[in-house]
Amino acid sequence: MKLNRNFSLLLIGQSLANIGDVLYIVSVISTIFVLTGSAIAASFVPFTIASSMFISSLLTPLLVEKVNLKWLIVGSQIGKTILLLILGFMLIGITASNYYFIFLIIGLIAFFDGCANPLRQTLIPYYVKPDHLIQANGIAETITQVIQAGMWFVGSSLLIIMSSQQLVWLVGCLFVIASILLCLLESVNHKTTELKGKLEKIKEGWRTLSNTPVLRRIAWIEFLETIAGTVWIAAILYVFVNDALNVDEKWWGFINGAFFLGLILGSVYCIKFSTFVEKKLGTFIFVGSFASFLFTLLFSLNSIPIISLFLSLCVGLFGQIKYIPQQAVIQTSVSKEQLSTVYTSLGAIGTGIFGVGSLVMGVLADLLGIRIVFVISGLLLAIVSTIAHKNKQLFVRNVMEQ
């Protein structure tokens, strides 16, 4: 697949923005922990971000019919840039008595992010031919996972030689470049229906999910997978390493890194064998979900650290082998004009359920034991694989809409 100009600009612009997102969050968490000495206060950072992105996913459809998709994603990035610069100045005089203002800023930044993320996925089919969607999604996911895997380490390392405020200024530069690159995108011809009432517009994506059989199944899959995936958050995985494996903290980093490596390998596989994957979308979605269930269950029962590394890699690998074909199905299951509302609705499911699911899994880990929550995760993925198997005939690329 030859990368065209628009897809390249979108990819580079969003990648710079994603790098900046991780770096500024590292900076904020460090600042809050230094000011308060409280891990609980620092843990409210991801909670605030997830909550804001959930609200944004619900409200984004109101803007989609009024603003060109290109300028909507550009506007969200410029908004993030302005807010980040405000955060940089705020850090000059921040103290333990007024640090809570930081949460207001990161909440607003996350609000813009909740708008930008589904728009990126919506724009890919506009800039990429239908036959290249698997490769395009694979490339985008590979870069995203490399950023996620590496930037937390890079961010924490930069804090050794830079202050939190200096790191925020560095992110500000990345955000400015990202905004410029996104401005260079070609506008897309996004036809909208007649203007509807606000409530009707918000409900439109949910109605499309409900009325489209394949999307209805995918919505259930997203719901169950999001809950299952909360066991891989840092706090729960950290407890598993200490209580179930009885090894020191460095193994948390190893196992977490193995999971991200699996995601990257899954993306690379889909890119390299995109033609084969394209022909068997339903099979890959089923095999990926079934293998994820199997390896998660084995992970919950295992006590040998080196085997945990391998199982963690496999969970990431097969999860990604399922996820990328699933994106191609979503992107071709409805018209391009409906995609933005579909993705914002799926995004609302993901962010909303993730916040609640993380809390529930944390409580269950305390009440039932850390191994049990991984067993629960595996059983949820077993239900996902059952849904995928029963509906394999629905998971195809609908070329008629392209």
DSSP state of 92: T
Q: Which two tokens stand for residue 214?
A: 């394949």
Q: Report pLDDT for 200.
A: 72
Q: Report pLDDT for 402.
A: 42
Q: Report pLDDT for 45.
A: 78
Q: Report pLDDT for 399.
A: 52
Integer Cα distance of 114 and 98 in angstroms: 26
Q: Which two tokens stand for residue 345?
A: 């609705």
Report pTM: 0.76
Q: Report pLDDT for 400.
A: 46
Integer Cα distance of 378 and 232 in angstroms: 12
Integer Cα distance of 311 and 296 in angstroms: 7
- What are the structural domains of the chain? 1-188 (1.20.1250.20), 197-402 (1.20.1250.20)
pLDDT tens figures, 239-251: 888 889 998 767 8
Chain position carrying tokens 């640090």: 99
Residue 279, judged by CB atoms within 10 A of its CB (0-12, 13-18, 19+), counts as: exposed
Residue 100, CA atoms < 13 Å, CB-side half-sphere: 2
Which regions in the chain score pLDDT beneath 50? 195, 400-402
Query: Helix 336-368 crosses helix 39-59 at what angle (to 10 degrees)?
Result: 150
Q: What are phi and psi of 367, to 5 degrees?
A: -80, -40
Q: Report pLDDT for 360.
A: 84
Asked if 41 contacts 210 with a C-beta cutoff of 8 angstroms, the reply is no
pLDDT tens figures, 294-332: 999 999 999 999 999 999 999 999 999 999 999 989 988
